[in-house]
Chain A
């Protein structure tokens, strides 16, 4: 953070607090948004990639707020995504609630359950909390499989309808997700520099010390869990509307670990981290899906290892990142930028 370009002076507090604090970031962000807005032009029918990244980035942003900024470990993030997805399905299906109302409502349902899960976090923390969220993940899976549908938990969802429009095409869905994605990212990036965000970071750094300073531990931990669950719920609602079919196998422990992998790979304490991580994990999954048939064509004996290849690659990348660059991709990019700023003289 200390490496800022010469001559870029901060003369007001507003400038000092800015999220996009240098011209490079401001122009870069504008370019990025422009590229995302025009994505259907340059991605064509591969636009589903960005839609998927967007949905997971929303969920991962929630987990980053919880894990990166509040220091509470959750291995059950996908359970909240499931809760959001099934709530959306139930609200838009049986109850005929309009889509624009149903998804936030689903988020609120997730928020309430998230705050509920946070209650034991006053007593148990660290490892124990991770185990409790893990148990919550499995119990939610089980409850959904046995409570919904004909024993398998599959349920179909109506296409999202906003006013007169029915979003049926990939492109329409993409713009919907993009709008929510940008809003969610902006909200999180702003939240962490407000009073609430600072309180959450104080809880992360030393919870009892924060309590001594007058921070209500129960309220802020519940808020952090609730917010994370809200983000996951929104992501689940979008995912349900996008796929038009919700099945429990999208929200298993594997997805929860993927979320953790996203925030860790992206960079835990960076507001850009979850977005980078979601993009990286999605691109890696899709890339392996494309690569595998090619590798099998070259070496047929490769076919057997093809299915678990994703697990091996994910595991190896996670371990390598944690050992060599715990700051994740966000830190790697920052180091790269500094390297380029100073190139060719590294001082």
Chain B
């Protein structure tokens, strides 16, 4: 039991770090644009599919760079073509537009490359390593390390770069930031590009670990659970939430899955969503929404 818990914790943290990265893009997009992006899973799928498609033509590192560039371009295009005309529309319209966007992205990707599982060419050493006596997939360790490095890079970006500061300012108080000369359109465009890139990185990392198929889109829902747990508009919350969902999924989900009822691992994220929404709708670190008449 103790060993199950410890190895679950370790593997959970590894997969959770990828969830955290994906959730970070999600939370940042929500924070700066107030858009709940239900197409986030499809952005993950986009990254995984495109990277694996490109590895047929170019070496793996080049393919990853091209994928990230394409993801950023997709983010800019989505903001310019779809989201800008819908600025200020009711919540329902925006949610449905993101659903429709997800449909299109998934349709095109699955149409181009099919829905079957494909593996990346082996670029990372395979097998398992033992950390403190516990076996962990080597790929998992590398993914987790990459995700952690990227989280630090993103943190530095938001802390020190001009664009990052502008985005935080707009997220904090849109109107004030706008009067101080922050271009909201640019911020929205960057937020979309950033969300797409974070999703694409997550897609590549998950693809390296588990292979790429159409189910990659479902990861977006786990990122959703992560941000709900952490608080929709909290960046640290998204990271903590991502790690927590990874751990909960591998330990509690894995235990119930193996011993009580089959397939529970896949829906444990939704149980978390419902429980959090009942008890503390604004999540662990989110701002409580106070409504005035």
Q: Does A260 contact B (CB under 8 A)?
A: yes
B180 within 8 A of A: no
* Contact pick for A323, options B85, B267, B277, CB 8 Å: B85
Chain B CB within 8 A of A209 CB: yes
Give chain B residues whose Cβ lies under 8 Å from the Cβ of A134.
221, 270, 273
Interface flag for B274 (CB, 8 Å): yes
A283-337 at interface with B (beta carbon < 8 Å)? 304-305, 307-312, 314-316, 318-319, 322-323, 326
Q: How far is the CA of A208 from the CA of B277 in the complex (A)?
A: 20
B107 & A130 in contact (Cβ 8 Å cutoff): no
Chain B interface residues toward A at CB < 8 A: 36, 82, 85-86, 89, 91-93, 95-97, 99-104, 106-108, 110-112, 114-115, 221, 224, 228, 232, 261-263, 266-267, 270-271, 273-274, 277-278, 281, 291, 293
- Complex Cα gap A308–B42 (Å): 14
B101 and A135 within 8 A (CB): no
When A124-B277, A126-B91, A131-B228 are in contact, do A304 and B97 touch as well, CB less than 8 Å?
A: no
B267 contact set on A, CB distance < 8 A: 138-139, 142
| A99-139 vs B, Cβ < 8 Å mask (1 yes, 0 no) | 00000000000000000000010011011101110111011
Query: Contact partner of A260 among B99, B106, B261, CB < 8 A?
Result: B99
Are B108 and A318 interface neighbours, CB within 8 A? no
Of the candidates A130, A257, A308, which one forms a contact with B36 in the assembled complex, judged by CB atoms under 8 Å apart?
A130
Q: CA A236 – CA B274 in complex, angstroms?
A: 25
The 8 closest A-B pairs by CB, nearest first: A315-B103, A311-B107, A308-B107, A305-B111, A312-B107, A315-B104, A318-B100, A135-B270
When chains A and B are docked, how far (Å) is the Cα of A131 from the Cα of B36?
10
Check if A212 is an interface residue, CB within 8 A of chain B: yes
Rounded to whole angstroms, the CA-CA distance of A126 and B282 in the bound complex is 13
Check B86 against A131 for contact (C-beta < 8 Å): no
A143's nearest neighbour on chain B, judged by CB, is: B267
**Given A131-B273, A312-B104: A73 and B92 within 8 A (CB)?**
yes
Tell me what chain A mostly uses at the interface: helix, strand, loop, or mixed.
helix
> 18 additional contacts, CB 8 Å, given A135-B271, A135-B277?
A71-B92, A123-B278, A126-B91, A128-B281, A134-B270, A139-B274, A142-B267, A145-B263, A257-B103, A264-B96, A304-B112, A308-B108, A311-B106, A312-B107, A315-B100, A316-B100, A318-B103, A323-B85
Partner of A308, one of B92, B111, B224, B271: B111
- Measured CB to CB, the closest approach of chain B to A75, in angstroms, equals 8
Q: Is the CB of A208 within 8 A of B224?
A: no
| B residues near A132, Cβ cutoff 8 Å | 273-274, 277
Q: How far does the alpha carbon of A134 sit from the alpha carbon of B232 in the complex, in Å?
A: 16
Chain A: how many interface residues by the 8 Å CB criterion? 45
Q: Tell me, in angstroms, the Cα distance from A129 to B76 when the chains sit together.
A: 29
A67 near B274: Cβ-Cβ < 8 Å: no
**Given contact pairs A307-B111, A315-B101, A142 touches B263 in the complex (Cβ within 8 A):** yes
Inter-subunit contact B291/A208 (CB<8 Å): yes
For A10, list chain B residues within 8 Å (CB): none
**Structural contact, A260 and B278, CB atoms closer than 8 A:** no
> How far in angstroms is the closest Cβ of chain B from A221?
15
B293-A318 in contact (CB<8A): no
CB contacts (< 8 Å) of A126 on chain B: these are: 91
Complex alpha-carbon distance, A183 and B33, angstroms: 43
Q: Are B86 and A139 in contact (CB under 8 A)?
A: no
Question: A residues 169-218 with Cβ under 8 Å of B?
Answer: 206, 208-209, 212
Would you call A161 an interface residue if the criterion is a C-beta within 8 Å of the partner chain's C-beta atoms? no
Closest Cβ of chain B: how far from A310's Cβ, in Å?
8
CB pairs A–B below 8 angstroms (8 shown): A73-B92, A128-B228, A311-B104, A312-B107, A312-B108, A315-B102, A322-B93, A323-B85
Q: Does A212 contact B293, Cβ atoms closer than 8 Å?
A: yes
Are A130 and B95 closer than 8 Å at their CB atoms?
yes
CA distance A314 to B100 in the complex (A): 7
Answer whether A67 and B92 are a contact pair too, CB < 8 Å, given A260-B99, A309-B111.
yes
Contact A135 B281 (CB under 8 A): no
Residues of B within 8 A of A146 (CB): 261-263
Cα–Cα, bound, A268→B110 (Å): 31
* C-alpha spacing A139/B278, complex, angstroms: 15
- Which A residues are in CB contact (< 8 Å) with B273? 131-132, 134-135
Q: Which A residues are in CB contact (< 8 Å) with B221?
A: 134, 138
